[in-house]
Amino acid sequence: MFSLMSVGAATSGLAQDNPYDTTVDIRMGARLFQAECGRCHGLDGKGNDETGAPDLTNGSFRSASTDAGLFNVIRDGISGTTMVGISWAPDNRVWQVVAYVRSLNPQTGDYDLAGDADSGARLFRGKGECVTCHIVNGAGGRLGPDLSTIGNRRDPEELRIDLMDPNETVEPRWWTVKVVRADGSVITGSRMSEDTFTVRVMDDAENLWHFVKSDLRSLERVETSPMPSASDGLSASEIDDLVAYLFSLRKES
């Protein structure tokens, strides 16, 4: 569970989830798509047999599974094919195209959800205490990811796993650290950034700390999720309601 952090082991800064996926980003991405990609993939993204460019609307991609993977394909192209990419564009523009391509499959789909989204919304703000760590549409805490568009990124089954088993996958951004200062006092919180000599930490009260590593007695990292499993404290039907609510959080273009 705990492991010593090796000095200098800063992880790469490339986000795994798209930081530019608001409705406005999707619209900007659509414009760039139409200008740069439509001639091969079709203006609606449904592909074109003549150019060999595949349909991008069915929600799964041969060359990438994550947003970060799609980012790389769209920026760099696929070598040895006519798929060229837009490496000239700034990163935020590439992310906007990723958001647009994702939005082509809004999963409005045929899920038969047992839960009730309105009850889920109440649980999210009330008994579930989710809002203490998560923002939805501008309100909430920052100790976990913003969930305003989580329904675009996760299907109901994946959401259930996120809730029941938060440790299943924890991105480095959400690893926490335990800092022991020279005077013995302890600060724990999320690791906002780190380089060879310094580390920035946000504690549970959302205070930002900046430490010089050589001043510390120890620095440990905790790779498990700070999020409690929803199965401690919530019933199966309450979890169904939360899944229905989270899945309803989708932004369409």
Place of tokens 């089954």: 157
HSE-up of residue 125 (Cα within 13 Å, Cβ side): 9
Q: CB–CB of 241/125 below 8 Å?
A: no
- What is the nearest approach in angstroms of ligand HEC to the Cβ of residue 194? 17
Residue 160 is a binding residue for ligand HEC (CB under 6 A): no
Residue 134 is a binding residue for ligand HEC (CB under 6 A): yes
Q: Which stretch binds ligand HEC (CB under 6 A): 107-115, 126-134, 192-200, 206-214?
A: 126-134
Place of tokens 């958001």: 99
Q: Which stretch binds ligand HEC (CB under 6 A): 3-11, 19-27, 52-60, 207-215?
A: 52-60
Nearest to 140 by CA among 152, 159, 122, 124: 124
Residue 192 is a binding residue for ligand HEC (CB under 6 A): no
- What is the nearest approach in angstroms of ligand HEC to the Cβ of residue 42? 10
**Number of chain positions touching ligand HEC (CB under 6 A):** 51
Residue 65 is a binding residue for ligand HEC (CB under 6 A): no
Residue 135 is a binding residue for ligand HEC (CB under 6 A): no
Q: Which stretch binds ligand HEC (CB under 6 A): 1-9, 18-26, 45-53, 111-119?
A: 45-53
CA dist 111 and 103 (Å) reads 17
CA dist 96 and 33 (Å) reads 9
- What is the nearest approach in angstroms of ligand HEC to the Cβ of residue 8? 24
Q: Which stretch binds ligand HEC (CB under 6 A): 6-14, 109-117, 137-145, 205-213?
A: 137-145
53 φ, ψ (degrees, to nearest 5): -80, 125
CA dist 140 and 241 (Å) reads 19
Element (H, E) at 201: strand 198-203
Closest to ligand HEC by CB, 69 vs 209, is 69
